[in-house]
Amino acid sequence: MSEKSLGHLSPKHASSKQLSLSRGGRLAVWLVGAAALALAGCSTEPKDDPNSQTSLDKLYAEAKSDLEGGGYDRAIKTLERVEGRAAGTLMAQQAQLDQAWANYKSGERAAAITALDRFIKLNPSSPAIDYALYLKGVVNFNEDLGLFGRLASQDVAERDQQASRDALLAFRQLVDQFPNSKYAEDSKVRIDFITNTLATYEVHVARYYFNRNAFVAAASRAQNAVTEFPRAPAAEEALYLMVQSYDKLGLTPLRDDAQRVLVKSFPQSKFLAQDDPEKKKAWWKFW
């Protein structure tokens, strides 16, 4: 092969040129290597650290967006990730409360209560304990809010008022422990409503038993209403049911005691007008 075919250079010139390229090549290699090291150094810096505050804020923003849009199932999964990555922080606590809210809104009452109980147990000194108690009360409160709408179509002896009682306990705990909480006033209103509801329910059941000649059960449920909820309006009828039940059972001393309490507590009670047939008949009517 001729010299021309090697690149138009004679061996002497080729040798000289090769030397020149070798020196220039070393410089180029050094520059490329330095650039590579610089890039490698940059690559070691965390770009999308899932535990960084920026990533957590972004993840939490996604969950809040799903909550606002009604995507509760997706929000719950995202909030679980936030809680796990932000463990021990206020953000993790907020994620727990948001999970409870999402479960409640999606109809998963048991899951919501479980989440709130866990929050209260794990974060006894959290600044959001009052809200956790309030939300627990609301979840249980709304569970039984339709009580009176269901009474006509359901055997009242089969009704379970545990949800209402749990709500009452949560609201009372909130008011007792955090009287200055912004949720305290609303909790007091709900306490009054639930108290009256439970007392009315006890009287309703007592009336149910009385109308079926189950006088012992009627007297017992009426007494429960008076003992647990003495200030509720339904206590008036509860006392009258006790009077009537004890009378049917032939328990004269108990009947007279209940009568005295009724007269003293409700001197203007309609149930004392025994001589009025209409009033005497009306006491047991549902509506």
Q: Give the CA dihedral 48, 54, 55, 58, nearest 10 degrees.
A: -130
Closest to 190 (Cα-Cα) out of 205, 204, 170? 170
Angle between helices 252-265 and 235-249 (to 10 degrees): 160
Closest to 197 (Cα-Cα) out of 262, 143, 116? 143
Which tens digit of pLDDT belongs to each residue from 176-202? 999 999 999 999 999 999 999 999 999
Cα separation, 63 vs 32, in Å, equals: 45
The pLDDT of residue 126: 93
Which tens digit of pLDDT belongs to each residue from 241-276? 999 999 999 999 999 999 999 999 999 999 987 534
> Is the pLDDT higher at 96 or at 149?
96
The pLDDT of residue 55: 86
Find the helix or strand (DSSP H, E) in which 253 lies: helix 252-265
> Is the pLDDT higher at 142 or at 43?
142
For residue 277, pLDDT over 70 is answered with: no
Q: How many CB atoms lie within 10 A of CB 112?
A: 23
Three-class SS string for 84-97? HHCCCCHHHHHHHH
Q: Looking at 40-49, 158-167, 170-179, 248-257, which range is the least confident one?
A: 40-49
User: With bands split at pLDDT 50, 70 and 90, how would you rate the model's confidence at 143?
Assistant: low
Structural domain boundaries in the chain: 53-108
Cα separation, 217 vs 204, in Å, equals: 12
Which tens digit of pLDDT belongs to each residue from 92-127? 999 999 999 999 999 999 999 999 999 999 999 999
Cα separation, 166 vs 158, in Å, equals: 18
